[in-house]
Amino acid sequence: MDIITSAQNPKIKDLARLKTKAPYRKKTGFIWVEGNREMNLAIQNGYELQQFYFNAELENQSNIQNFEKNAQKTYAVKKEVFSKVTYRGDTEGVLGLFKIKELGLENLKNKKNPFYIILESVEKPGNLGAVLRTADASGCDAVIVCDPHTDIFHPNVVRASIGCCFSIDVIQADSETIIDFLKKENINIFSAALQNAITYFDSDFTKGSAIVLGKESTGLTEKWRSASDQIISIPMMGKIDSLNVSNAAAVLAYEVLRQRMKKTNAKEKP
């Protein structure tokens, strides 16, 4: 174990660069992860802990031994230095750099009645993270991100998902490739939009389904609307005409779950 006491240490300077530069994270293949729960989820789901940093003055070091055991390299960092480099103020004193898993649409082939959430041109890491948390909770098989405007493993994605970015498959591809894949796999495409739509509770999500959500500012592009089997909407009864994308994902994901649980329960009845 190495001990770091200065903010001028090359490792600390490298961490500062990783924290703020998405291209550098991509180049190194690292995911920046802070917090006990988030790091535990990454380890439990087979992500490799390349470098582990912790506050050397932590009072409760119960998790340190477990993380150190899983890490290829461990660094104890002076408290003042550690607090300057971390992304979050209250980070529980632990930080890990994990190796990115390369996942593609081929990982999703031949699934039986899968449920996918597809996000087109998602912009805010916090929204993506919140959708991943909902996806995990509702039993979604994967979140597919097309043409993103943010790093899908941005530290804020990890934070907002509370580590669910590791417990569910997150796949990135361009829209045309995803549409072609869904058609070949006979998965129904339900695109969320306002115009020419039916309310979502009139749709059947019990078979292979992909729910597609667009940017909050402009909605879905025409390529997704044209590729849709159904265009669906969430009724808006007040003055506003749309929900935050993560809220919309939650409403629709739990309707998918409700329908599938109802169908399963009906089959189990004598």
Share of the chain above pLDDT 70, in %: 97
State whether 109 and 198 are in the same domain: yes
State whether 93 and 134 are in the same domain: no
State whether 14 and 147 are in the same domain: no
State whether 177 and 259 are in the same domain: yes
Integer-rounded Cα radius of gyration of the chain: 21
70 Cβ contact list (under 8 Å, min separation 6): 43, 49, 52
State whether 17 and 144 are in the same domain: no
| pTM more than 0.85 | yes
State whether 35 and 159 are in the same domain: no
Query: In whole numbers, what is the pLDDT of the chain averaged over residues?
Result: 92
Is residue 270 scored above 80 in pLDDT? Answer: no
State whether 181 and 116 are in the same domain: yes
Q: Is 83 helix (H, G, I), strand (E, B) or coil?
A: helix
State whether 39 and 61 are in the same domain: yes
- Burial per residue of 215-228, b for 16 or more beta-carbon CB atoms within 10 angstroms, e otherwise: bbeebbbeebbebb
* Residues 94-118: tens digit of each pLDDT: 999 999 998 999 999 999 999 999 9
State whether 91 and 109 are in the same domain: no
- Tally of domains in the chain: 2
Sign of CA dihedral 266, 267, 268, 270: positive
Pick from 51, 65, 64: nearest CA to 93? 64
What integer is the mean pLDDT of 178-186? 97
Instruction: Give the CATH number, domain containing residue 34.
Output: 3.30.1330.30
**Domain C-terminal end among 99, 128, 163:** 99
Q: Name which of 56-70, 112-126, 192-206, 248-262 the model is least confident about.
A: 56-70
* Residues 32-74: tens digit of each pLDDT: 999 999 999 999 999 999 999 999 988 667 788 899 999 999 9
* Residues 5-32: tens digit of each pLDDT: 999 999 999 999 998 898 999 999 999 9
Q: Yes or no: say if 105 and 185 are a contact pair by the CB < 8 Å rule.
A: no
CA distance 262 to 2: 55
Burial class (CB in 10 A: 0-12, 13-18, 19+), 251: middle
**Residue, of 185 and 148, whose pLDDT is higher:** 185
Span between the terminal Cα atoms of the chain, in Å: 61
**Residue, of 210 and 217, whose pLDDT is higher:** 210
> Which domain range does residue 150 map to?
105-268
Burial class (CB in 10 A: 0-12, 13-18, 19+), 27: exposed
**Residue, of 270 and 101, whose pLDDT is higher:** 101
**Domain C-terminal end among 44, 75, 99:** 99
State whether 86 and 207 are in the same domain: no
Instruction: Give the CATH number, domain containing residue 263.
Output: 3.40.1280.10
State whether 57 and 128 are in the same domain: no
* Residues 79-92: tens digit of each pLDDT: 999 988 888 765 68
